[in-house]
Amino acid sequence: MSGGTASPQPFAPTAGLLARRRRERLARGVFLAMTVLMILPLAGILGYLVVRAWPSLSWSFLVEAPARGMREGGIWPALVGTIDLVVISLAVAAPIGVLAAIYLNEYARDNWVHRVVNLAVITLAGVPSIVHALFGLGAFVYAARLGYSILSASLTLALMTLPVIIASTREALASVPRSFREACWNVGATRWQTIRAVVLPNSIGGILTGIILQVSRAAGETAPIMFTGAVFYKAVRGGTLLPYRLDEQCMALSMHLYTLATQVPNVRPSIPYATAVVLLAVVLLVNAAAITLRLRVRTRPKW
Amino acid sequence: MGLLIRLCGISAILFVMGILLFIVREAAPVVVSGRVSLVQFLTRPEWFPTSEVHRRYGALAMIAGTFSVTGLAMLMAVPFGLGAALYLSEFCPPRPKEVLKIVMELLAAIPSVVWGFIGLTVLSRIIVTLTGAPVGVNMLNGALVLALMSVPIIVSIAEDALKAVPDSYREAALALGATRWQVTWRVLLPAARHGLLAAVLLGVGRGVGETMAVLMTTGHAVQMPRSVLDSVRTLTANIAAELGEAPAGSDHYRVLFLTGVLLMVITLAINVTADLIVRGVKRS
Amino acid sequence: MRIPGTRTVIEPSFWRSALAAGMAAMICAGCGGQSAPEGGTTLQIKGSDTMVNVAQAWAEAYHQVRPGVRVEVSGGGSGVGIAALLRGTVDIAASSRDLKPEEAEQARRYTGREVRSFVVGHDALAVYVHASNPLEEIAFEQLADMFAEGGRIERWSQLGVTIPGGGDKIIRVSRQSSSGTYEFFREHVLGRRDFRLGSRDMNGSKEVVELVAATPAAIGYSGMGYHEPGRVKMLRVSPGAGRPAVAPTMETAMSGEYPIARSLLLLTLGEPEGEIRAFLDWVRSPTGQTIVRECGYVPLTPDERAALTAGR
């Protein structure tokens, strides 16, 4: 764009133009600095967390149960609890979310129902997590008589992840060109056959990416499970694969970090940091997996 | 199959109505019966939910806490967020851009309890050292954490808004001899202003609704904030701290649900406005 | 709501493997659901944050003694635990304050049963200041003047204390209103008056001590078991001007000399039976009481132990 080579015309690099170019370089520098300033301190803090956590980070930290009043030992029960919560909540939210998105994108006409559903999805996505906790406590724990349990907590989490799954699935579905569908209809396929044979296969990568991203979100949430099914401590032997029943409460990584930070006295200093690092690692790895999946899917030839 | 799909399709409506109805139903009796006046709830700062002499349910200090923390966070997050979005969309070469966008996405994924932990252990010490504040868990700490949490959202939405400005605008301006900075300042910002506003609004929505990070970093004191180094309590943190205690059905329990209704109304208004703005942008 | 970048392109083999992955996830969910856990009974204890650590230690040790019984511990505050007990959502409530008459009344009305309470130990509520604070003792009136509504003490200089490292304004550190510690302090030190607003109300007993340890001008109250020697200091407390100030120790708390000591209770709905009974007995046995002492709380006095054996 700065194609103005020197020529004795009005467009020659006058003092004014040079000043403007300087301003451009300045702007570019400032914006770059802003971007970097945001990321660098954060990288610093994350590095600090890892350094503080280092003495406790080991395989046995992952697979052992907490010991000596949670001042030592590992985080196994919390890790398993988080996995349980995430898997069950997504097993509920993913099918509903995907079907809802199919409805919105493939079936619904652009009428008021469609608009209301849209509005509902946006509203649901904006509900603060603590309000989900209010609802989960009142509706699942008390009204539905599920008690404080993994089930109550998972359902609360499912409700929280649902709108985002709907949104991401819709985007994936919308990326399939209409001509694909029309070709299918023209050979006499029904709407559902078309969806199954053409639309879903062409959008499954995007749909899965959206769902995987919600794995990390569900794993990190604390407020919705704090009042519905996460406990301070539960006696579980380290390494047990399936220690919880659905109607019991469980420990969870996020909750464990919170209690270590606020409740357990004289804990070995590296343990809360190590718990934070493990939680972060779980979330970031899952996200990285989703991003890789998306990049892989994206690099396929486009039509 | 069609029926099932239809049912799932409207499930979102059912859930939203369910949540709204439920929390309103839980909150309503205490207002309807007149035991807690809505006016008092919204205009008095005295919060004594378990007092033995005089129970008072005034949420004003917490409303002020929520908005002051969010406001301060936005003061920091908006310039940085918009700056980063401008850099990404207008100045950045493509490859670093991909990397930066992934970094932003990972940033957005950090759980709020980890942010809270960072604020509690790292930032609070830094704040005490740098400002000489008596306590490191305060409004500034909460706002810093919130700013870092909402920046990725602001960047991602703002970048979309900038991307939505047709290239012909940029080309026209460049052809007139404008520099990139002039294009950005004179053409892009005005053209994308609705989208940028939506980005900011969604950042605010995130700030108002955030719970754990704020609970752990703001110091949790019921008082009208007078300086950025004061400890404050937010609406969300208050629910998180007191929800368990309140025996179901008691006035206290219902007032907490009332706080939930208030939060829901605030975030709903913010999100719907943002969505209308974004939708308006898409249509035009 | 939108998710940045979720656009996609086709790939049939990919679709198949993705489907397989999805199925696998479902199957995992399924076995998560019907998993046969370690088996046996689960005991749920919920309530006092003061007791959460000792309850946790009991749970941990009891798992070794009786592997068939798994004890769940959650905190939230004494009020939370009692509320949950009345709703039948937990087996045992942990409380660091006595049952209120209205709570007992609620239990009778809703469940038709009496709440039974069992003293399982004692706790001295310590008043903590920063380790560098020159103050050594404090009286109830002074605490009330600091913490209660309408109190007049706002600066350390009013107590004749200069804080090394500056800061004259007293930073009050309190607890959230669900905590038994909060209510106990209000009842016994503030004389039922309300707390003055503007204190930092922490969610955990440890958080109080941590904040005091990090803040030279702070004062706070928390269980004796949360003491972190070297970082904070426990003040001697006098129940009134002119009366001797007593340091919080096992002995003074046991003898009742220390003015803000309280009983730690486990509550059940109706007479406990089976595993609940067994657990309660174990908690009050010498093994259980050793754990109480190890956690920094005060075990049952010899008199109480004697009464216990006599009662059975």
pLDDT digits (tens, 9 = 90+) for B11-50: 888 898 999 999 999 999 999 998 889 999 999 999 998 8
Same domain, C133 and C251: yes
Does the pLDDT value for residue B282 go beyond 90? no
Same domain, C61 and C100: yes
**Nearest C-alpha in A relative to B255:** A134
Q: Please give the pLDDT value at position C36.
A: 38
> β-strand B56-57 against B47-48: which pairing, if any?
antiparallel
A160 within domain boundaries:
yes
- Report yes or no: A49 at the B interface, CB cutoff 8 Å: yes
C2 within domain boundaries:
no
Architecture, CATH, for domain B44-48+55-251: Orthogonal Bundle (1.10)
- Interface A–C counts its CB contacts (< 8 A) at 187
Q: Of C169, C171, C201, which is closest to B220 when you measure between CB atoms?
A: C201
| Chain B hits for C193, Cβ within 8 Å | 53
Alpha-carbon gap: C275 to the closest alpha carbon of chain B (Å)? 26
Q: Please give the pLDDT value at position B281.
A: 64
Give the residues across from C138 on adjacent strands: C237
Chains that touch A (3 or more CB pairs under 8 A): B, C
| Chain C hits for A242, Cβ within 8 Å | 31-32, 35-37
| pLDDT over 90 percentage in chain B | 53
| Chain C hits for B234, Cβ within 8 Å | none
- Report yes or no: B191 at the A interface, CB cutoff 8 Å: no
Those residues with Cβ within 8 angstroms of residue B87's Cβ, 6 or more apart along the chain or in another chain? A28, A31, A32, A34, A35
Segment A175-187, tens digit of pLDDT? 888 888 888 888 8
| Chain B hits for C82, Cβ within 8 Å | 247
Q: Of A164, A202, A230, which is closest to C1 when you measure between CB atoms?
A: A164
| Domain interval for residue C108 | 14-122+264-309
Is C33 close to A240, i.e. CB distance below 8 A? no
Same domain, C149 and C227: yes
Q: Please give the pLDDT value at position A27.
A: 84
Segment B220-275, tens digit of pLDDT? 999 999 999 999 999 999 999 888 777 778 889 899 999 999 999 999 899 888 88
Q: Please give the pLDDT value at position A142.
A: 84
For chain A, give the number of residues: 303
Q: Is A299 left (phi over 0), alpha (psi -120 to 50) or beta?
A: alpha
Q: Which two tokens stand for residue A101?
A: 């998105």
Residue numbers of B between 48 and 107 with CB closer than 8 Å to A: 79-80, 83-84, 86-88, 91, 100, 102-103, 105-107
Is C56 close to A206, i.e. CB distance below 8 A? no
Alpha-carbon gap: B44 to the closest alpha carbon of chain A (Å)? 23
Does the pLDDT value for residue B91 go beyond 50? yes
| Domain interval for residue A122 | 59-297
- Give the pLDDT band (50/70/90) at residue B284: low
C103 within domain boundaries:
yes
Is A210 close to C203, i.e. CB distance below 8 A? no
Ordered alpha helix ranges (H), A103-242: 112-126, 129-135, 150-174, 178-186, 191-194, 200-220, 223-226
Read off the CATH number of the domain in which C179 is found: 3.40.190.10
Ordered alpha helix ranges (H), chain A: 15-53, 59-63, 76-102, 112-126, 129-135, 150-174, 178-186, 191-194, 200-220, 223-226, 253-262, 270-298
Q: Please give the pLDDT value at position C212.
A: 94
CA distances, B77 to each of A94, B210, B229, B232 (Å)? 33, 15, 18, 20
Q: Is A141 helix (H, G, I), strand (E, B) or coil?
A: helix
**Nearest C-alpha in B relative to C4:** B156
- Give the pLDDT band (50/70/90) at residue B133: confident
| Chain C hits for A167, Cβ within 8 Å | 1-3
C4 within domain boundaries:
no
In contact, B13 and B250? CB cutoff 8 Å = no
A2 within domain boundaries:
no
Same domain, C106 and C145: no
Is A201 close to C10, i.e. CB distance below 8 A? yes
Number of domains in chain C: 2
- Report yes or no: A74 at the B interface, CB cutoff 8 Å: no
In contact, C267 and C92? CB cutoff 8 Å = yes
The DSSP symbol for B99 reads H
Alpha-carbon gap: A222 to the closest alpha carbon of chain B (Å)? 7
Give this prediction's pTM.
0.89
Residues C224-246 as b/e (b if ≥16 CB within 10 A, e otherwise) read bbbbbeeebbbbbbbbeeeeeeb
Same domain, C96 and C166: no
Compute the average pLDDT of residues B82-89.
90
C87 within domain boundaries:
yes
Q: Of C183, C198, C216, which is closest to B221 when you measure between CB atoms?
A: C198
Same domain, C130 and C243: yes
Same domain, C144 and C246: yes
Is B134 close to C171, i.e. CB distance below 8 A? yes
Alpha-carbon gap: A262 to the closest alpha carbon of chain C (Å)? 5
| pLDDT over 90 percentage in chain A | 41
CA distance A6 to C15: 57
Phi–psi pair at B119, nearest 5 degrees: -60, -45
In contact, A65 and A79? CB cutoff 8 Å = no
Is B181 close to A23, i.e. CB distance below 8 A? yes
A101 within domain boundaries:
yes
Read off the CATH number of the domain in which A149 is found: 1.10.3720.10
A46 within domain boundaries:
no
Those residues with Cβ within 8 angstroms of residue C252's Cβ, 6 or more apart along the chain or in another chain? C124, C246, C258, C261
Dihedral angle computed from the Cα positions of residues B249, B250, B255 and B261, in that order, rounded to the nearest 10 degrees: 0
Does the pLDDT value for residue B279 go beyond 80? no
Is B114 close to A130, i.e. CB distance below 8 A? no
The ipTM is 0.91
Same domain, C132 and C115: no
Same domain, C101 and C184: no
Same domain, C40 and C74: yes
In contact, C78 and C95? CB cutoff 8 Å = yes
Give the CA count within 13 Å in the CB-facing half-sphere of C201.
27
Domain limits, chain B: 44-48+55-251
- Give the pLDDT band (50/70/90) at residue B64: very high
C1 within domain boundaries:
no
Q: Please give the pLDDT value at position A154.
A: 96
Is C8 close to A206, i.e. CB distance below 8 A? yes
A51 within domain boundaries:
no
C8 within domain boundaries:
no
Residues A107-120 as b/e (b if ≥16 CB within 10 A, e otherwise) read ebeeeebeeebbbb
Q: Please give the pLDDT value at position C34.
A: 37
| Chain C hits for A261, Cβ within 8 Å | 207
Number of domains in chain A: 1
First-to-last CA distance in chain C? Answer: 64
Q: Please give the pLDDT value at position B35.
A: 87
Q: Of A134, A216, A273, which is closest to B260 when you measure between CB atoms?
A: A134
Chains that touch C (3 or more CB pairs under 8 A): A, B
Q: Please give the pLDDT value at position A8.
A: 55
Same domain, C92 and C201: no
Segment B163-179, tens digit of pLDDT? 888 999 989 998 988 88
Residues C82-121 as b/e (b if ≥16 CB within 10 A, e otherwise) read bbbbbbebbbbbbbbbbbeeebbebbeeeeeeebebbebb
C9 within domain boundaries:
no
Q: Is B47 helix (H, G, I), strand (E, B) or coil?
A: strand
The DSSP symbol for A56 reads G
First-to-last CA distance in chain B? Answer: 37
CA distance A286 to A159: 20
Q: Of B87, B181, B268, which is closest to A35 when you measure between CB atoms?
A: B87
In tens digits, chain C (312 residues) has pLDDT values of 333 333 333 334 444 444 444 444 444 443 443 333 445 788 999 988 888 889 999 999 999 899 888 899 988 778 888 888 988 888 999 998 888 888 888 888 888 889 999 999 998 999 999 999 999 999 999 999 999 988 899 999 999 989 887 788 999 999 988 677 888 899 899 988 999 988 999 988 889 999 999 999 999 999 888 898 899 999 999 998 788 999 999 889 888 899 999 889 999 999 998 899 999 999 999 999 999 988 888 899 888 877 776 654
Is A291 close to B100, i.e. CB distance below 8 A? no
Same domain, C171 and C268: no
**Kind and range of the H or E element at B240?**
helix B235-242
Segments in chain A below pLDDT 50: 1-7, 301
A225 within domain boundaries:
yes
| Chain A hits for B179, Cβ within 8 Å | 1-2, 20-21, 23-24
